[in-house]
Amino acid sequence: MSESADAAAAASTPPTASAKRFIFPRWANYALPAIAVGVLGGLVYVPVAIGLGFSPKALAVGYAPQQPVPYSHALHAGKLGIDCRYCHTTVEKAPFAALPPTQICMNCHTAIHNTSPRLEPIRQSWATGKPMEWVKVHDLPDYVYFNHSAHVNHGVGCASCHGRIDHMDVVEQVAPLSMGWCLDCHRAPENNLRPKDQVTNLAWRPTDHPLAKERNITDVAKAQELVGNELKKQYGIRDQAYMTSCFTCHR
Amino acid sequence: MSQVDHHQSGISYWRGLEQLSDTPQVRELLAQEFPGYDPTSVVADPGRRQFLKIMGASMALAGLTLTGCRRWPQEHLAPYSANPSGHVPGFPEQYATAWELGGVAHGLLVTSYDGRPIKIEGNPSHPSSWTIKGKQGSADAFAQASILEMYDPERSRLVIERTAADKRGKNSDWEKFDEFATVHFGRMKGQGGGFAILSEATSSPSVLDMRKRLLAVFPQAKWYEYEPLTRDAELEASRQAFGKALRPVYGLDKAKVIVSLDADLLGTHPNHVRYAADWSEGRRSGDRGEMNRVYCAETCFSITGTVADVRLAVDPARIDMLARALASKLGVAGVSGQENLSAGEQKFIEAAAGELNASGGSGVVAVGHAAPVAAHVLAFAINQQIGAVGKTVTLIDDPAGDRPTHVAAITGLAKDMAGGKINTLLILGGNPAYDAPLDADFANALGKVAVSIHLATYDDETSRLCKWHLPRAHYLEAWGDGRSWDGTAGVVQPLIEPLFGGKSAIEVLAMLSADKVTAGDQIVRRTWREQFIKGGGNFERQYRKVLEVGFLEGSQSKPVQAQPKVANLPPAEAAAPAGTFFLKFEPDAHVYDGRFANNGWLQETHEPLSKLVWDNAAVMSVKDANTLGIETGDVIKLEGNNRWIEAAAYVLPGQPVGVIGLSLGYGRTAAGPVGDKLGFNGYTMRTSDRPWIVGGVKVSKTGQDYRLVTASLHHLIDRIGMNGREQRVGGKNQTGVIVREASLSEFKKDPSAPHEKTQGRSSLQLFDPLRYNGPHAWGMAVDLNTCIGCNACVVACQAENNIPVVGKDQAFNHREMHWIRIDRYFKGASDDPQIDVIHQPMLCVHCENAPCEQVCPVAATMHDTEGLNVMVYNRCIGTRYCSNNCPYKVRRFNYFDWHAKPPRKSTGVLWPGMPDSQQLDPKSIDPIRRMQFNPEVTVRMRGVMEKCTYCTQRIQRTKIARRNAGEDVRDGDIITACQQACPTQAIVFGDLRDRSSRVVALQNNPRSYDVLGELNTRPRTRHLAKLRNRDEAQSAPSGQAAAEHHAQGPSSSSPSPSQSPTLG
């Protein structure tokens, strides 16, 4: 009773000159629904935009920076058929597939194209002893410890992560290299195993394997399943829990 | 309340006097998370506006960090132009080298990663450093931390030329110095009058060779040698006893009885790594019922004292007396002096003498560097008398013994300098303006020298008074050589080109004597060709072999046969006048003699007994402190020798009554931003007549306070935890079950003796136990019986795992980042000088039922398939629940981007001002400092929890290498960093699945137990109880000794306070 009386008293107080009563315009009635739609839309839009726009697939795949020398893998690895390990010598021993020292380039290029202006930086490097500065294409976060030797020695082919390098004039990243992508294979390594002698054969197909040929399997997926499972046993690949343990990649 | 009161008197093991007093303030302190932390220092005005400001800043920063959602900056790869043969990029390599500290070389093995040395370990083949011959080698904390010195951005980079008018000096370079030297020294050729060289102690054959060559060019020049932490009493004694400079080398592995009279064989002795390893050999045999026995009478509480079976705390005047008594008891001719002993001393001497006699030559008597010459002479005689010489004591020629004592050299030189007789002074290393004895007045004398040249690692106190400062190459940057304590000759092999263009001592000597061989490696080769490898044709092959293993095999000095003569013993030392104290100087556990002052790793290790960080202090006994009304942190004034210094007091249980211990090396003024203006400079009280001891010192309170930071109470179980423990374990006063011990005789009778107090444990499981089907199950065993608390493991872990330095202020807030800490527990009455100590290394024990995992909201810490409790940094959101729930308190949180922060600047508005600098700006960590990082371990960022990983990177590296070769991991393949560094093999890591592994044997040892096992955490790391080799029948109640002390003043009169050794 007393409350409403107070309210009435307040309402009946005459407005002062400086504080006129404010009345919202009519369109303000639509403001609330508009804001609601905006917020709800935002709630959908922002995560989707971040999820898609900032995903490794969108950001990393297709990354093909320009290198100081337009070295073509398509020419060297593809047309000339030089084995990956001729240049990336450490891939079977070390965590890193080291880039070749200038010396390796000069093994051939003292004789071939030894005056080509495109190779000038290489000759400079060789003459001065200063290293070439190549741009890193496949770059993992610093808390990930990928080990090339562990993969190469257990039948994971170069092509599984790097794609058909032998078709690339400019190297580009073909896989997202995200944790989810790594785990896809660590959960089911059989999908990417091949004989050790075929690791650097970028054109290898599971249907080429004697096991698949024996049974006349022409379906690639089926052949991979057969070959992969056989090799998984042969290589002694550990179980899924082990393969997806944190320590496998993080230190 | 009565229950709590009961505890006040009854805590059997304790870490600090504060804990023992158990006042409400202390309890509050223990209950606080950051006792030193004042939130208002961050938010000065906790009002609404300030809150909004900080929130606004945080939101803006959050926005900034969104910029992380992009492709990270382009990186470049720079392969070699021409690959060095045999080098595999990205593959760590190890090289053998050596380093010299105080004139004694130590064998090292340095890991290099693509040309950057990143980690220093002991050389497993070198006689000075192997712990398991050929497999494992240990290096002490100093040696390991020296890598940080090499990457210290504050290290001197330039030649500096100073004049009297220009004290700051102008930057110069080696060419200009060479020009100057050519003219200046060219003039002196053939004469050299007034030219003096002051070198630090060195055993390097190349330096000695260059010395000879230099003196041939300048025949009138004089060569002096000075080392502040001098051991010359022993040298003098050998000259008196044998007529020539001989050095005793002890074989502690063969010793059944070790009697130390103030000799810190396991701590500060130059050969301590070898001695600790050998001593531990005689302790591990405790499981077979046999153990060596260590008698230790000492004047400051040392590492050796903490592991002594019978310890006697005495004042410095008694050491000489005890040596005489022991000699006379053992029948050394011409010695008397048993009459003045107190009852406790009598008992100590009788027991020690009896056992030495019975040992059949398997005894060792060692006397400390602070003892007078006579005591050393007697030690030689005693070792001869008991037949130890040739068995456990070997006498060898001192490789650099043909010299006056260090103190005589420096005072003589300073006198000549002050008298104007020296016009050119070359100082090779050292820092005499800071650390020369006071009466030499070196700094002033230096002003009288026309041309003074100082070759030094830092532009330090001495350099600032010299005309020329020359940057010295670090030992990892320059060629050299040296001889270890037993005389083994090794080559100092550099791993990297000098970062800042420094030169080594031999290169400078070659430069000045205009030698035609100027390159360091050529000088060393020449020396080795002339002195060691004389074969001729196959020099190269043999020298390569030396470089490969790091030393010349079989080059240790041959034993010398000599009969000690005891004659003309001076009268026994007088006790200090009543009411006065002895001031005893000690080598410092952080900075050695002051040279490591700018080394953050060492500054932040805990001093083994006081657990002080970033400081030294005047250490005094509980009784003296009570008498004078002094508490830890009070600034006291020490007066003696007509001088005085002020220093903060630290009250240390076990410190002898009447002795103030002060370590040397603090109070630097030109050490660098990390080491300047810390602690108290003991050198300002040091005189040449007795460099280690000042007698008749008066102590008074100044009324000022100084903030000492000690970790002794860090990570302690608080009252709530203690009550919980009582409920679970049952019974009162069960603190003892964290550290366990038994006497050897009890243990022989009943192998479960160390454990009798526990009541077993609950095995109820809240969750299903984890099942493992992996090939390995990693585990660890930590043996308290051999741990000596030397900090080697702490520094090893810091280097291996990229652990940051937090600084004194943050250490005060309990925020130190060490993954492994060594808890030091006292046992007994606090004022008993013969108090017992146990060192317990504590690191993540990798619980099967890990309390941390159960509370992490984001599964950032979890178990892997091999039983490791892993920490996933990139999942961690920093709730710190895990740390809160960890009963072992081994988890460490990154409150800041520590690596990007100078350790001395840590207060103020840090967190709003320093957002994730490591992420936003890769250059925020000094580029030189970054070179030391182990690339196989993530550098953690702000807001992330971290802890011991069992060196998962080492496990992975070994597993991958073995698996690539188609082999299985074998026991001993994987050695964690702490295990590697431990000189006493107290830490053993291995595979619990492999039933034949060492770790399984140790975990099945009857001494092993789970720390806090009653919580059913099921740790993978088990500790092994300590054994003390005491004859219980002889034990004197320690309370009695304490009571005796209450009745007497400090160093009242001769005979000094009767301090009975605790034999139980």
Q: What is the pLDDT of residues A156-206, one digit of tens each?
A: 999 999 999 999 999 999 998 888 899 999 999 999 999 999 999 999 998
The owner of tokens 């009778």 is B749
pLDDT at B460: 92
Task: Determine if residue B262 is left, alpha or beta; phi over 0 gives left, psi from -120 to 50 gives alpha, anything else beta.
Answer: left
Instruction: Tell me the C-alpha distance between B382 and B363, whole Å.
Output: 10
Instruction: Give the Cα-Cα-Cα angle B272, B276, B281 (nearest 5 degrees).
Output: 150
Find chain B residues with C-beta within 8 A of A247's C-beta. 864, 866, 868, 870, 952, 955-956
> E strands of B713-764, at which residues?
741-743
Instruction: Tell me the C-alpha distance between B590 and A131, whole Å.
Output: 41
pLDDT at A13: 52
pLDDT at B912: 46
pLDDT at A7: 47
Contact B739, B824 (CB under 8 A): no
B976 min Cα distance to partner chain A (Å): 14
Instruction: Tell me the C-alpha distance between A245 and B307, whole Å.
Output: 42
Contact A103, A87 (CB under 8 A): no
Mean pLDDT (whole number) for B545-573? 88
The owner of tokens 């054959």 is B205
Instruction: Tell me the C-alpha distance between B949 and A143, whole Å.
Output: 14
For residue range B133-171, what is the model confidence (pLDDT) as tens digits? 989 999 999 999 999 999 999 999 999 999 888 888 899
| A54: contact with B, CB 8 A cutoff | yes
Task: Determine if residue B598 is left, alpha or beta; phi over 0 gives left, psi from -120 to 50 gives alpha, anything else beta.
Answer: alpha
Given an 8 Å threshold on Cβ–Cβ distance, is A100 in contact with B873? no
For residue range A99-110, what is the model confidence (pLDDT) as tens digits? 999 999 999 998
pLDDT at A10: 47
Mean pLDDT (whole number) for B382-400? 91
Given an 8 Å threshold on Cβ–Cβ distance, is B79 in contact with A54? no
Compare CB distances from B81 to A126, A153, A246 and report the shortest one's residue. A126
pLDDT over 90 at B955, yes or no = yes
| A60: contact with B, CB 8 A cutoff | yes
Reference B563, options B333, B319, B269, B231; nearest CA is B333
Residue B769 structure tokens: 């136990």
Helix (H) or strand (E) holding B820: none
Higher pLDDT, B876 or B764: B876
Give the range among B42-51, B829-838, B1035-1044 with minimum mean pLDDT: B1035-1044
Given an 8 Å threshold on Cβ–Cβ distance, is B89 in contact with A54? no
Nearest-Å Rg of the Cα atoms of chain B is 29
B996 min Cα distance to partner chain A (Å): 23
pLDDT over 90 at B533, yes or no = no
pLDDT at B21: 76
* pLDDT grade for B336, boundaries at 50, 70 and 90: confident
pLDDT at B5: 32
Give the range among B176-185, B498-507, B575-584 with minimum mean pLDDT: B575-584
Q: Closest-CA residue in chain A for B951? A: A251
DSSP state, B190?
A: T
* pLDDT grade for B1059, boundaries at 50, 70 and 90: very low
Q: Which residues contact B820 (CB under 8 A, 6 or more apart)?
A: B793, B794, B797, B841, B842, B843, B948, B978
> Across chain A, what does the average pLDDT equal?
87
pLDDT at B45: 58
Mutate to test the interface with A, among B67, B772, B853, B865 (most CBs of A within 10 A): B865
For residue range B285-294, what is the model confidence (pLDDT) as tens digits? 988 888 999 9
pLDDT over 50 at B267, yes or no = yes
Contact B786, B984 (CB under 8 A): yes
Surface of A (106-125) touching B: CB under 8 A: 125
Mean pLDDT (whole number) for B1044-1048? 36
Mean pLDDT (whole number) for B227-247? 92
For residue range B805-863, what is the model confidence (pLDDT) as tens digits? 998 888 888 889 999 999 999 988 888 878 899 999 999 999 999 999 999 999 999 99
Q: Which residues contact B707 (CB under 8 A, 6 or more apart)?
A: B633, B812
| A142: contact with B, CB 8 A cutoff | yes
> Across chain B, what does the average pLDDT equal?
86
pLDDT at B1051: 38
**pTM summary value:** 0.89
The owner of tokens 């051991």 is B231
The count of other CB atoms within 10 Å of the CB of residue A47 is 10
Residue B561 structure tokens: 């046969």
B459, β-bridge pairs: none
Which amino acid would we find at residue B327? Answer: A
For residue range B455-478, what is the model confidence (pLDDT) as tens digits? 999 999 999 999 999 999 999 999
Instruction: Tell me the C-alpha distance between B969 and B240, whole Å.
Output: 56
Can you tell me whether residue B488 is helix, strand or coil?
coil
| A68: contact with B, CB 8 A cutoff | no
DSSP state, B337?
A: -
Indicate if the alpha-carbon torsion angle B685, B688, B691, B693 is positive or negative.
Answer: negative
For chain B, report the end-to-end CA distance as a whole number of angstroms: 32
> E strands of B641-674, at which residues?
643-651, 659-663
pLDDT over 80 at A56, yes or no = no
Pairing of strands B618-620, B643-651: parallel
Tell me the CA distances in angstroms from B1005 to A125, B741, B744, B1013, B1023, one per residue in order: 61, 14, 15, 16, 10
